[in-house]
């Protein structure tokens, strides 16, 4: 069996991995770069050449740095992803309008004993994994007497974190581990806060304010649950995009609940397509949730906050920023929005925990799987991995590993 990392050995996001035997070739993830600063050496034309003779592509989760380039994959090549991952990608495409998911994919469901998928002489078994994208999975790939685990993005401090250790026990020893190493580049923490700890801190903050705005990712449904549990006696208001996702996948925290309200941001009233309006739009809001509420917001909703403020409907308010702090530095629009919110007299708190594995989770994975070879991807600092993982193979994009 042979492994090649097309993208990901020196960058976070934009990961693409090739795994092949003498007769079968699959690719795991097909993501776009998070920023224009990606250091990969493969351009789209070369990626197309690589994928053109693949037998299948497998997607670990819905984040675009793992699934954002699926549209360029030739339509004769099967793409496999978890069914809710497809739903989330479809809805995200609708809201981006100009980047629809242009092809059919094959879906599977995750359970305690998910059935394997056979492609040529490869056996691919998905396992559910804790991450900040709903129903993320890792893949065990077996062929030619070898076993490889591709982790995708993972952690063990979220609401599915309890499954992590038992899942690793079920997988057992592997010949090669392909693992994300995001924490090696960012905080390098041994232990991240859990969602339960974030919930406790959020409760304390929310108790001091009448209106609480939350800036968080709509696909981070663990965090949605965290803030819903922390809201105390406040009404809970979610934006149109979040509402569309939660309703489509039948998530417990959705506008189907009596104490959850849907607010349609004004930006969506500018969208011309009748199909979009019919599928997702309702009235702008009836204000029944006033005066005490928790409202999920997006960067595009600054104008809505200003309208509420001007109408005297924001009196004793704060904003909880619950995403990676690096986005504030990298995205000028986000930084400007937060500046405007502060000028409105709204106090800003940062309250977040990573969607990625901390060092403790990485060490646990290494001890459980005892890999003969380890490849670190999704990182800008793979050099730090030597203290955590055994038998690390340091490679660059495009280099081959023979098992």
Residues 381 and 321 in one domain: no
Q: How many CB atoms lie within 10 A of CB 122?
A: 23
| Rounded CA separation 155/378 (Å) | 14
What is the average pLDDT value for the chain, to the nearest integer? 90
Residues 255 and 376 in one domain: no
Q: What is the DSSP string of 158-212?
A: STTTTHHHHHHHHH---SEEEEE-GGGTTT--S-PPPHHHHHHHHHHHHTT-SEE
Asked whether residue 340 carries a pLDDT value surpassing 90, the answer given is: yes
Share of the chain above pLDDT 90, in %: 67
pTM: 0.93
Q: What is the DSSP letter of 197?
A: H
Q: What is the DSSP letter of 284?
A: S
Write down which residue in 350, 371, 392 finishes a domain: 350
Q: How many residues does the chain have?
A: 403
Residues 162 and 20 in one domain: yes
Residues 154 and 99 in one domain: yes
Buried b (16+ CB within 10 A) or exposed e, 231-261: beebbbbbbbbbbbbbeebebebbbeeeebb
Domains contained in the chain, number: 2
List the one residue out of 103, 15, 22, 26 whose CA is nearest residue 61.
15
| Rounded CA separation 324/50 (Å) | 32
Strand, helix or coil at 323? Answer: coil
Q: Which of 32-46, 151-165, 224-238 has the lowest mean pLDDT?
A: 32-46
Q: What is the DSSP string of 205-221?
A: HHTT-SEEEEE--TT-H
Phi, psi of 300 (to 5 degrees): -75, -5
Q: What is the DSSP letter of 237?
A: E
Residue that wins the pLDDT comparison between 286 and 262: 262
Q: Alpha carbon of 227 to those of 206, 234, 253, 322: distances in Å?
A: 9, 11, 10, 10
CA atoms within 13 Å, Cβ hemisphere of 350: 9
Q: Tell me what the mean pLDDT of segment 125-141 comes to.
A: 96
Q: Tell me what the mean pLDDT of segment 345-362 comes to.
A: 94
Tens of pLDDT, residue by residue over 242-281, are 999 999 999 998 888 888 888 888 888 887 688 888 888 8
Residues 39 and 156 in one domain: yes
Q: How many CB atoms lie within 10 A of CB 100?
A: 12
Residues 154 and 210 in one domain: no
Q: Which residues pair with 3 in a beta bridge?
A: 19, 401
Residue that wins the pLDDT comparison between 318 and 95: 318
- With cut-offs at 50, 70 and 90, classify the pLDDT of residue 383: confident
Asked whether residue 38 carries a pLDDT value surpassing 50, the answer given is: no
Which token pair is 339?
């500046």
Asked whether residue 29 carries a pLDDT value surpassing 60, the answer given is: yes
Asked whether residue 39 carries a pLDDT value surpassing 50, the answer given is: no
List the one residue out of 207, 164, 131 whose CA is nearest residue 368.
164
CA gyration radius, the chain: 22
- With cut-offs at 50, 70 and 90, classify the pLDDT of residue 24: very high
Tens of pLDDT, residue by residue over 166-210, are 999 999 999 999 999 988 876 666 789 999 999 999 999 999 999
Residue 306's pLDDT is what?
93
Q: How many CB atoms lie within 10 A of CB 96?
A: 11
Residue 292 structural domain: 195-350
Write down which residue in 332, 350, 368 finishes a domain: 350
Residues 216 and 340 in one domain: yes
Strand, helix or coil at 401? Answer: strand
What CATH number does the domain containing 276 carry? 3.40.50.10710
Q: Which of 102-106, 250-254, 343-347 has the lowest mean pLDDT?
A: 102-106
Q: Which of 110-124, 255-269, 357-371 has the lowest mean pLDDT?
A: 255-269
Is the preceding omega at residue 291 within 30 degrees of 0, hence cis?
yes
- As a three-state string, the secondary structure of 35-88 is CCCCCCCCCHHHHHHHHCCCCEEECCCCCHHHHCCHHHCCCCCCEEEEHHHHHH
In this structure, the strands spanning 137-143 and 146-150 are antiparallel
Residue that wins the pLDDT comparison between 20 and 32: 20
Segment holding 400, helix H or strand E: strand 400-402
Q: Which of 101-115, 148-162, 333-347 has the lowest mean pLDDT?
A: 101-115
Q: What is the DSSP letter of 37?
A: T
| Rounded CA separation 112/359 (Å) | 26
Residues 342 and 241 in one domain: yes
| Rounded CA separation 293/286 (Å) | 13
Q: Tell me what the mean pLDDT of segment 361-378 comes to.
A: 95
- With cut-offs at 50, 70 and 90, classify the pLDDT of residue 283: low
Tens of pLDDT, residue by residue over 203-234, are 999 999 999 999 999 999 999 999 999 998 89
Residues 340 and 360 in one domain: no
Residues 30 and 112 in one domain: yes
Residue 199's pLDDT is what?
97
Which token pair is 182?
């995001």
Residues 278 and 214 in one domain: yes
- Please report which residue ranges of 73-131 form alpha helices under DSSP H: 83-96
How buried is 387 (Cβ within 10 angstroms: 0-12 exposed, 13-18 middle, 19+ buried)?
A: exposed
What CATH number does the domain containing 382 carry? 3.60.15.10
Asked whether residue 47 carries a pLDDT value surpassing 90, the answer given is: no
Residues 18 and 150 in one domain: yes
The answer to whether residues 39 and 10 touch, using CB atoms and an 8 Å cutoff, is: yes
| Strand order, beta sheet including 122-128 | 117-119, 122-128, 137-143, 146-150, 176-180, 373-377
Residue 284's pLDDT is what?
55
């Amino acid at each position: 069996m042979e492994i090649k990392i097309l993208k990901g050995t020196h960058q976070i996001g934009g990961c693409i991995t090739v795994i092949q035997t003498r007769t079968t070739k699959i690719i795991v993830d097909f993501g776009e770069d998070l920023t224009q600063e990606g250091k990969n050496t493969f351009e789209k034309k070369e990626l197309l050449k690589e994928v053109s003779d693949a037998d299948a592509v497998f997607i670990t989760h819905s984040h675009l740095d793992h699934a954002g380039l699926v549209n360029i994959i030739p339509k004769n090549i099967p793409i496999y992803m978890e069914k809710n991952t497809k739903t989330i990608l479809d809805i995200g495409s609708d809201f981006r309008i100009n980047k629809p998911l242009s092809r059919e994919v094959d879906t599977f469901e995750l359970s305690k004993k998910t059935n394997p998928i056979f492609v040529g002489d490869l056996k691919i078994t998905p396992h559910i994994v804790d991450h900040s994208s709903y129903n993320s999975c890792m893949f065990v790939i077996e062929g030619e007497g070898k076993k490889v685990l591709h982790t995708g993005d993972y952690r063990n401090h979220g609401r599915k974190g309890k499954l992590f250790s038992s899942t690793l026990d079920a997988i057992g020893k592997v010949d090669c581990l392909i693992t994300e190493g995001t924490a090696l580049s960012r905080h390098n923490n041994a232990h991240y806060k859990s969602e339960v700890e974030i919930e406790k801190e959020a409760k304390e903050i929310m108790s001091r304010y009448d209106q609480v705005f939350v800036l968080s990712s709509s696909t981070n449904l663990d965090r949605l649950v965290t803030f819903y549990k922390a809201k105390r006696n406040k009404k809970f208001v979610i934006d149109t995009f979040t509402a569309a996702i939660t309703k489509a996948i039948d998530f417990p925290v959705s506008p189907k609940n009596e104490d959850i309200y849907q607010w349609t941001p004004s930006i969506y009233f500018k969208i011309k397509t009748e199909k979009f309006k019919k599928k997702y739009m309702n009235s702008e809001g009836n204000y029944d949730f006033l005066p005490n509420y928790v409202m999920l917001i997006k960067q595009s909703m600054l104008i809505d906050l200003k309208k509420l403020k001007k109408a005297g409907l924001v009196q004793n308010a704060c904003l909880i920023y619950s995403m990676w702090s690096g986005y504030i530095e990298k995205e000028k629009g986000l930084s400007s929005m937060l500046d405007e919110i502060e000028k409105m007299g709204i106090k800003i708190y940062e309250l977040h925990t990573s969607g990625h594995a901390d060092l403790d989770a990485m060490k646990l994975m290494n001890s459980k799987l005892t890999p003969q070879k380890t490849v670190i991807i999704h990182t800008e600092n793979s050099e730090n991995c030597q203290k955590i993982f055994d038998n690390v193979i340091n490679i660059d994009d495009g280099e081959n590993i023979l098992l």
